[in-house]
Amino acid sequence: MQLEDTPPQATDHARRQHFASDNYAGMCPEAAHWFNAANGSGHAPAYGDDAWTTRVSDRLRETFDKDCDIYFVFNGTAANSLALASLCQSYHSVICTPVAHIETDECGGPEFFSNGSKLLVADAGPDAAALGKLTPAAVETMVLKRNDLHYPKPKVVSITQSTELGTVYSVEEVKAITAMAKQHQLKVHMDGARFANAVATLGCHPADVTWRAGVDVLCFGGTKNGLPVGEAVVFFDRTLSEDFSYRVKQAGQLASKMRFISAPWLGMLESNLWLSNARHANAMAQRLREQLALIPGIKFLAPTQANAVFAQLPKPAIDRLQGDGWRFYEFIAGGGCRFMCAWDTTEASVDAFAAAVAQALKAD
């Protein structure tokens, strides 16, 4: 039987690029190349004992200029949940922002996998909150709020880089937060689902905004950056990863054919493609922002420092755009519309979407 290579309803209309999430994009050719290379190399040991996984782990250690411990899992929810569980006992707590993915979009995964560690949502004040950021002062307020044994003891600070609002912490901001964390014996977790986009913006060495800045564990996102699937959990402090492989296995996150998750990373790490993919996505978001800024009635909700544009549109315009088949989220990070660019978003797609937004607003 001959199978079509497109989904049944894939008209030109449905095949257009969308701005809902960077995970709408497929895998980049370089990731596909190494995926196929791993497949073409025949049998290999299972559960991560293969040469591909070793090679990619070594490459990641070189990338971070650090002898760190690395694990591969299927998705970001598992990466965050398991990393946090490894840093906490069940009576501990994790300080984060109200818009943190671990708080709003992981279905209680961090609490579940840690057997109950509570997430403490910090109020960082209007300025930082508008950027989706945590501050040292907010961390300290949370830590000092209670110190009795009736309250879950703060143990970890979790920050997202780039943030859920498409902003980026500077190296100095990260250092200030980790300094406060260390002062109170807290570990620091970084949700890096879009770590690449942040590093592309900062232009710094990836070590400068992670372990050299005091981050203990990074969940390094690959999926949104161009992999088919998979995130790397990077423990810069190896003492924190004890028994982590058991956690991964118990959570159903240990890929038996792990080489198909790890090998595609070679494509991302070769010639720093992870950074050029991210730079492209960021540039497309910048292009979209510039075009939207020309439309009367547009109100932006956050600066565009990575690959997202947040804007407020009138409801009828939203309905018109969605009626016309454009996909984007309205519920992410506290309202407004989120337009996300990916490694493969084209200038033509940005231009077509910006024109559609202009049209939808004009009709009001």
Ligand X SMILES: *Cc1c(COP(=O)(O)O)cnc(C)c1O
Among 242, 258, 263, 243, CA closest to 60: 263
Q: How far is the CB of 319 from ligand X (least distance, A)?
A: 26
Written as six digits, the tokens of 19 are 């701005």
Looking at residue 188, its amino acid is: V
Which of 111/164 has CB closer to ligand X? 164
Which of 80/178 has CB closer to ligand X? 80
Which of 107/348 has CB closer to ligand X? 107
Q: How far is the CB of 243 from ligand X (least distance, A)?
A: 22
Which residue, judged by CB position, is nearest to ligand X in the bound state? 76
Do the Cβ atoms of 55 and 276 come closer than 8 Å? no
Which of 234/360 has CB closer to ligand X? 234
The total number of residues written for the chain in this structure = 364
Q: How far is the CB of 272 from ligand X (least distance, A)?
A: 22
List strands edge to edge, sheet with 337-340.
Answer: 299-300, 308-312, 337-340
Report CA 92 to chain centroid distance, whole Å: 24
Return the number of other C-beta atoms located less than 10 Å from residue 140's C-beta: 16
- Footprint of ligand X on this chain (CB under 6 A)? 75-77, 80, 101, 160, 164, 191, 193, 223
Q: How far is the CB of 141 from ligand X (least distance, A)?
A: 23
Return the number of other C-beta atoms located less than 10 Å from residue 303's C-beta: 15
Q: How far is the CB of 185 from ligand X (least distance, A)?
A: 25
Q: How far is the CB of 94 from ligand X (least distance, A)?
A: 14
Which of 162/178 has CB closer to ligand X? 162
Among 181, 189, 238, CA closest to 210: 189
Which of 164/344 has CB closer to ligand X? 164
Q: How far is the CB of 335 from ligand X (least distance, A)?
A: 17
Which of 50/191 has CB closer to ligand X? 191
Which of 87/298 has CB closer to ligand X? 87
Q: How far is the CB of 164 from ligand X (least distance, A)?
A: 5
